[in-house]
Chains A and B, each alone.
Chain A
Amino acid sequence: MERRVVITACSAITPIGRTKAEILDSLMNGISGVKVLREDDVLSPYIHSKVFGTVDYPITYDFKRQYRKTMGPVAYYACQVAKEVLESAGLDEAFVTGGRLGVAFGSTHGSPTVQRGIYKTFFSGSQAGYSSIGAVDYLKSMVHTTAVNITKMFGITGRVISSSTACTTGSQSIGYGYEMVKYGMQDAMICGGADEYDTTTVAVFDNLLACSTAFNDTPHLTPRPFDVKRDGLVVGEGAGAVLLEEYEQARKRGASILAEVIGFSCNNNGGDLILPNLGGITETIRLGLKDAKIPADDMDFISAHATGTKMGDVIEAQAIHSVYGGRPAVTAFKSYMGHTMGSCGAIETIIVAHLLAGGFVVPTLNLEEVDERCAMINHVMARRESPLRVAAIQNFAFGGVNTSIIIKKWEGR
Chain B
Amino acid sequence: MSESSPHLVVRGVSKRYGPTTVLDHIDLTIRRGELVTLLGPSGCGKTTLLRAIAGLAQPDTGKVELAGRDITNVPPHKRNVGVVFQSYALFPHLTVAGNVAFGLKVRGAAKREIDAAVERALSLVKLGHLGGRRISALSGGQQQRVALARAIAVEPDVLLFDEALSALDRKLREEMQVELRRLLQDVKATAIFVTHDQDEALTMSDRVAVMNKGRIEQLAEPRELYLRPASLFALNFVGLSTRISGTVLAADNGKVDVETKLGRMSALGNFQAGSPVIVAARPEQLRLGEQGEANSAAGRVRSVVFQGSRTLVEVDAGAGESLLAELSGRDGAIPRVHDEIRLSWPVTETFAFPMEAQA
- Is the pairing of A and B real? no
> Which residues on A are within 8 Å of B, measured CB to CB?
none
B→A interface (CB under 8 Å): none
